[in-house]
Chains A and B, each alone.
Chain A
Amino acid sequence: MDILSSKTIVLLSATAEDSLFSNEEYSVIVEHACQIVLQSADQAEKPLKLLFPNKDVNKIQESYTGLMTLIVEAAKNDLQSDQIELLLDDCNYLPDRKDIFVAIYNGNKNEVRRHLSTFGVDSPRIVDLGWRLDYHLKNNQMYKVNTLNYSISLKQEDGDTIDFQCSKEELQNMISKLKEAAKIMERASQF
């Protein structure tokens, strides 16, 4: 399977030409494209017209499309510099422009990969937990209950919480299971 579609290659080939962008302008575009991929808000909101007032808006948009596709696909497939350079050769890139792209890409590669890893199918992630110790004295059904009671709240990434109550013994049971998981995890990481 080809990493880039023929359409993308056409779009990228347009960015190879000096006539559209100088090398300095090209650097700015590539860096900006990386920021947009990372969805860093302040960068992404700058209207393209302000950055390049003298150029054809459509051509600029096409350039961004091509470059962002390349950045995402390169990060997704964990391409090395030589593999990227081969791809850029297919787009008729000159050596200095290739170097510019590879340098900027490598600078942002880890961030992009980390950002891409957040997408996808997954159970909600726990980020924090809170606990509370109560003494249940009585309720309107039983006038004498007198038991210790823990309330645990597991906080998820999206802000939702999972709340439940448990006794001391149930808490101990839960802790021993988690410790077991941690021990196995540690053992597995030593391979």
Chain B
Amino acid sequence: MLLKLSTEHYEHLSFLNKIEPDVASEFASISLKFLHSGINRKMFKLASQKLQVEIEEVENCIIGLMQLFVEATKNKLSDVDFCDSLIVHGFTPDLASALKDLYSEHAKATGSRIGANAPKLPRYKNMEWRLDVKLASRSLHNQLEPSVQLKLAIENFAGTETKLVKADVPTLLHMISELEGALTENKSKHVQRFVRNIS
């Protein structure tokens, strides 16, 4: 698929055509850095002074580049599509290629930063188990009750939470068979057909 830029966005980015290619590459690197660590307004001032242009033009251009990279990552654009999208909008192939290189280099990092803002549901992190036999308690002496203690580490928006639960032998076996059923469902025709067709 190809990216479609709005008129405003295109106007901001067309500043790239007016500057030297290596400056354009530098702008792109700066924009990627800003995506990762936040915007530093001093850079705009420095660049605009160096290039003898309005600070607004520099700002719009760099922010436009940030937007470009974000949209491309959101849509998981391939390198070819990224390049083509730029060329279609009238940017030179060299510029497009330079930007594409930077894009693919940082694609994974940008993707994970964006993905970190997605709704975070509790995720499984780790599980440890321990075999115990209950021999006695205050209310009943002379017991013999085997059980498995499970320590589940679950990661949610508040950090990693550790939950301690107990399962007796029949429950453990039941859990194993249910989970194995869940795993085999993954290989069913229905699921495979869906995955093949949708992606």
Contacts and interface: CB of A to CB of B under 8 A. Distances in A.
B176 A178 contact: yes
Interface of B is mostly: mixed
Given A76-B139, A181-B131, A182-B173, A175 B183 contact: yes
Interface stretch (A4-12, A45-53, A63-71, A147-155): A147-155
Contacts of B142: 77-78
A75 B140 contact: yes
A164 B115 contact: no
Interface in A129-164: 129, 131, 133, 135, 137, 139-144, 146, 148, 150-152, 154, 156, 162-164
Contacts of A165: 121-124
Interface stretch (B25-33, B43-51, B61-69, B191-199): B191-199
A162 B152 contact: yes
Nearest to B143: A117
B178 A131 contact: yes
Contact of B148 (A78, A170, A181): A181
Interface residues on B, range: 35 or more
Interface string B131-166: 100100111111101101110101000000001111
Nearest to B129: A181
B182 A131 contact: yes
A119 B115 contact: no
B198 A137 contact: yes
Interface of B: 73-76, 111, 114-115, 117-119, 121-124, 127-129, 131, 134, 137-143, 145-146, 148-150, 152, 154, 163-169, 171-176, 178-180, 182-183, 185-186, 191, 194-195, 198-199
What 6 pairs between A and B have smallest CB-CB spacing?
A: A120-B137, A166-B124, A116-B140, A144-B76, A131-B182, A119-B139
